[in-house]
Chain A
Amino acid sequence: MPEPVELPSSRTVPKKERRPSLVWIVPVVAALAGAWVAVTRVLAEGPTITIDFRSAEGLEAGKTKVRYNGVDVGTMTAIRLSDDHLGVVATVRMEPKTESFLVADTRFWVVRPRISGANISGLGTLISGAYVRMDIGQARDEQRAFVGLETPPIVMRDVPGRSFVLKTSDLGSLDSGTPVFYRRLQVGEVVGYELDPDGSGLTVKAFVQAPYDRYVTSATRFWHASGLDVSMSATGFSVQTQSLMSILIGGIAFETPVAEAALPPAGENTSFLLHRDRAEAFRAPERNPLEVRLVFKQSVRGLAAGAPVEFRGIQVGQVVEVGAEVDVKTLAISVPVKIHLEGARFGVRFTDLDPGDDPTAIRRRLWDSLIAHGVRAQLRSGSLLTGALFVAFDVFPDAAPASIDWNAKPLDFPTVPGALEGLEASLASIVRKIDQLPLQAIGDDVAKALVQLDQTLSSARGALDSAGKLVAPSSPLATELTTTLQEVTRAARAIRVLGDYLERHPEALLRGKSGEAR
C-alpha cells in the first residue's frame, strides 16, 4: 500500500520520568472512604436488645422506633414469634451510647392510640404508627432482654411523687388513669389495679404527685369520688361532686381529718382503705361496739346489713347481720337482727365524763335506764319507695316492762312491733269485721220489709180514698187529706227507690249512698 504523502513530523518533547500513575489515588481514596464509612457504621452500632411483647400489632421491623422523651433511641430490626408462640420477641438495635439506659428496671411499652375515659393519648401514633416508649430505670446492672409492658405506666420515673395502695371491694368505674383529687384539685392518677390473689377484693395503686403527696398521712381517708353525691335535707337537695370529669369517669378523692393533719406524710406504698363515699370515709372506725340481738316477730324484708340504728333520729349504730334461727326443740323460727351500738362513732358524746369512769358500766346503766323508761327497738320504714327498713329506738310508754340480762350471750334487747306492722294489724281486724257483716241478708230483709211497707201504704191509700169520699172535696178536711195523700205517695216512691238502691248496693247501709247513685 502506498504511503500517504506530505505527513508532517511530530515535535519532540523531553521524555517524562515514568512512575506509577497518579490515577491510582482514585481507588485508594474510594477504598479509604468506604473503609471510613464501614468503620463509623460499626462504631455507631449500639447494643442490640430483645423485648418480649404479647402482640406485634402496629409494630414493624425496620420502621418501629424506640423513643425516650421523643428522641429516637433505637430501631426495631426484627420481630419473631416467641418460642412458646404466646407472644412476640422484638429485636431492637439501639443507638450508640445507650448501654447505660438498658438496666434491669428499664421499661418498654408500645404506644398506640389509647382512648380511655380519662384521657386520649398517643394520638400522634395515628399518623406515625405505633412506637415503643422507653422509661429508663435506676438499677445498676445492665440488661439486654426485656419484657414489654402491656399497658403504659402512667407514672414515669421522672415525675416525683409517691404511690399508695388502696384496698377496695369494688372497683367501681376506676381504671388506669382515673384522677385522684385533693380538695377537688387533680393531684394524681390511678396507676393500676389487680384482683387480690384470693379474689376477695381489689388492690388499687394510686400515684400522687409531689408536692401533694405530703398531704397523705397515715390518717388520710380515701374514697370513691365517682358520680354525684346527692343528699337531701330540710333545706333541699345538695349535689356534691369532685369535678365534671369525675362524674363521667369516676375518681378517687382523699382528705385528712383536720384533727389528725399533723401526722408525718405516709410512706411509699402505704395501704389505705378505699371507702364508698366521703361520709363513710370520715366515719370513725368501730372501736368497742355493743353487740345486741334484736328479735322481731315480723318480716325483716328491706332490712340489710349496714342499715342505721337510730335513737330518736340520731344514728347510734348499725345493723351488722340479718339472719334466721330455728329452735330445734320448739321448732320456732325467729329472725334475729344483730346490731352494733356505738354512739361515740356517730358523734354521740358523754358530758361530764370523768377519766376514771368505766365506759362499759356507764353504757350498762344508760341502757338499763332507757329500757326501764320504755325504750324499745322497732323496725321502721326508711323509704316508702324502696321499702328499706332501719332499726329505731324510741320510747313506748305502753310497752310491757322489760329489762336487760347483761350476762346473756347474745345480748337481747326488747322490741316492739313496727309502726307499720301495728297499723296493718288493726286494719286487718277492721277488714275482717266488715267481711263478717251479713250484708246480703240485711239487704234482702230490707227489701222484704219495704215490699210489705208498700203494701201497707197501698192499703192505707185505699182507706184514705174511701175516707176522702166521705169528706167533701172543698172542705178543709178534704184539702188536708189530699195533701197528706200526696205526701204518703211521695214517701212510698222514695222508699221504693231506696229499696231498689239497697238491693243493688247493700253496702250503702254502711257507707251511705255514693254520689253516682244519685
Chain B
Amino acid sequence: MGRRGGAKRRGTRRARRRRRGAVVTTAPVAAIQRGWQSCEACGLLSRPGADAGACPRCGEELAFRKHRSIERTWAFVIAAAVCYVPANLLPVMVTTTAAGSAPDTIMEGVILLWSPTGWPLSLIVLIASIMIPSAKILALVYLLVTVQRGSVANNAERVRLFRTVELIGRWSMVDVFVDTFTAALVQLQPLMAVEPGPGLLFFAAVVVLTMLAVESFDPRLIWDAAPSEEVVHA
C-alpha cells in the first residue's frame, strides 16, 4: 500500500514538473518503444530490419528483449526450486569419525552450530544456505509473475530487487565452497574425514540454476508495461 502511495506521489511530482514546462527529455523512453534494438554485447542501438537481426558492430544476435527471457527464466527457476528440495533433505556433508559416519543436512548443520558462542556462524549458514536460495527463487518468481501480468507498480523497487539477486548470486556459492574446502582439508584418516554428500550437488545446482535464471531474465521487461501515456507526453 505504502509503495503504491509512493509511486503515486512521484507521479504527481513529475506531472507538476511537466506543467511548469520543465525539461521533459528526462522522462524514461524505452528503445523498444522507439522501435530500436540495443545490442546486449556492445550496447549499440540499431534499428531492426524486417526480421531478426544481428548487431552491425559485433554480430551479436539482436532482439528487442533477451531471447525467450521469461520462458528460460521460468525453466531455470523451476529447476532450481526442484533442486532446492533434495538440497535441504539430503546430507551435504558426511563426517566420518571413530564414532562412525554421520551425515548432516544443511539444517542439521545449522542446529549443530547453534550454541551461545557459535550462533553467528550458525546464522551465517542459515542465511547463506537456506534463506538466500529460497529468497532468490521467490524473488525471481515474483519478478516473472509481475512482468507477465504487466504490472506497473514498484518498477524501481523491482529492478533494485533484481540487482540484489544478481549481486548475491555469485556469493551464494560460499556454502559449496566452504563445504568442499572442508572436505579437502579434513582428511585425518582414520580419525576423521569429511566428505561431501549428495545434497551438496543439489545445493550447487540450486545456486547455479538461480544464477542462470538471473542471467536469462531481462530486467528491461520490468519497464515494458510502464504506462505509455507518460512516454508519449514526454
* Chain A residues within 8 Å of B, Cβ to Cβ: 1, 3-4, 7-16, 21, 23-24, 26-27, 29-31, 33-34, 37-38, 62-63, 65, 72, 124, 127-129, 131
Contacts and interface: CB of A to CB of B under 8 A. Distances in A.
Contacts of A63: 99-100, 102
A259 B72 CA distance: 96
B198 A21 contact: no
Interface of B: 25, 29, 34, 36-37, 45-56, 61-62, 68, 71-72, 75-76, 78-80, 82-83, 85-86, 90, 97-102, 198, 202, 205, 209, 212, 216, 234
Nearest to A32: B82
A505 B76 CA distance: 129
Contacts of B34: 3
B100 A1 contact: no
Contact of A12 (B37, B49, B72): B49
Nearest to A124: B98
Looking at B85, B90, B97, B99, which has the most chain A CB atoms within 10 Å of its CB? Answer: B99
A8 B37 CA distance: 11
A1 B83 contact: no
Given A10-B49, A13-B61, 14 more contacts: A7-B36, A9-B46, A10-B55, A14-B51, A15-B51, A24-B75, A26-B75, A30-B209, A33-B83, A34-B82, A34-B202, A37-B198, A128-B97, A131-B100
Contacts of A3: 34
B54 A23 contact: no
B83 A34 contact: yes
A12 B54 CA distance: 7
Contact of A10 (B37, B71, B80): B37
Contacts of A128: 97-100
A15 B52 contact: yes
A38 B48 CA distance: 49
Given A13-B52, A34-B83, A65-B100, A23 B72 contact: yes
B166 to A, nearest CB: 19
A8 B45 CA distance: 9
A70 to B, nearest CB: 10
A87 to B, nearest CB: 24
B54 A26 contact: no
Given A10-B62, A26-B209, A131-B100, A21 B36 contact: no
A7 B53 contact: no
A365 B175 CA distance: 104
B37 to A, nearest CB: 7
A30 B79 contact: yes
B90 A10 contact: no
B99 A129 contact: yes
Contacts of A9: 46-47, 49, 56
A37 B86 contact: yes
A38 B68 contact: no
Contact of A127 (B46, B56, B99): B99
Contacts of A27: 75-76, 78-79, 82
> Which of B48, B52, B68, B234 has the most chain A CB atoms closer than 10 A to its own CB?
B52
A10 B47 contact: yes
A33 B52 CA distance: 36
Nearest to B51: A12
B82 A31 contact: yes
Contacts of A127: 97-99
Contact of A34 (B29, B85, B97): B85
B54 A13 contact: yes
Given A10-B54, A11-B53, A12-B49, A21 B75 contact: yes
5 contacts: A12-B52, A31-B79, A34-B82, A34-B83, A131-B100
B12 to A, nearest CB: 23
Nearest to B29: A1
Nearest to A130: B99
A26 B79 contact: yes
Contacts of A23: 68, 71-72, 75-76, 216
B51 A13 contact: yes
Contact of A30 (B46, B49, B205): B205
Contacts of B61: 13
The 8 closest A-B pairs by CB, nearest first: A10-B53, A27-B79, A128-B99, A30-B79, A27-B78, A30-B82, A23-B75, A12-B49
Contacts of B86: 33-34, 37-38
